[in-house]
Amino acid sequence: MSSELETLDQLLGGDLSLAAVRTVYPDAEAFLRGIVGLLATGDVLLYSNEGLELPDWQWRELFRDQSILDRLPTLNLKITKQGISRIA
């Protein structure tokens, strides 16, 4: 199973921090590429520990400059209905 599908599978049990999701990927490059793909296709949502969803422009910037790696414990992923349908 790909890391992306493993991420979706784990999210079926509930939201996870990016720090926890990072462990599913073999390296930082694969993590960045995989999570951007899941976000871009609408399979997951990225939100802060305060519950605020990050808009597309904001998460794209964080991934583009790789500053997302410094914020892993402060951000979470939630699976969407579309993401559920990909693995159900």
Indicate yes or no: pTM above 0.85: yes
pLDDT at position 88 over 90: no
pLDDT digits (tens, 9 = 90+) for 40-55: 999 999 999 999 999 9
Task: Delineate the domains of the chain, giving CATH numbers in brackets.
Answer: 3-87 (1.10.10)
Q: What is the pLDDT confidence band of residue 1, given thresholds at 50, 70 and 90?
A: confident
Mean pLDDT confidence for 16-36: 96
With 0-12 / 13-18 / 19 or more C-beta atoms within 10 angstroms meaning exposed / middle / buried, residue 13 is: exposed
End-to-end CA distance of the chain: 14
Contact 18, 68 (CB under 8 A): yes
**34 pLDDT more than 90:** yes
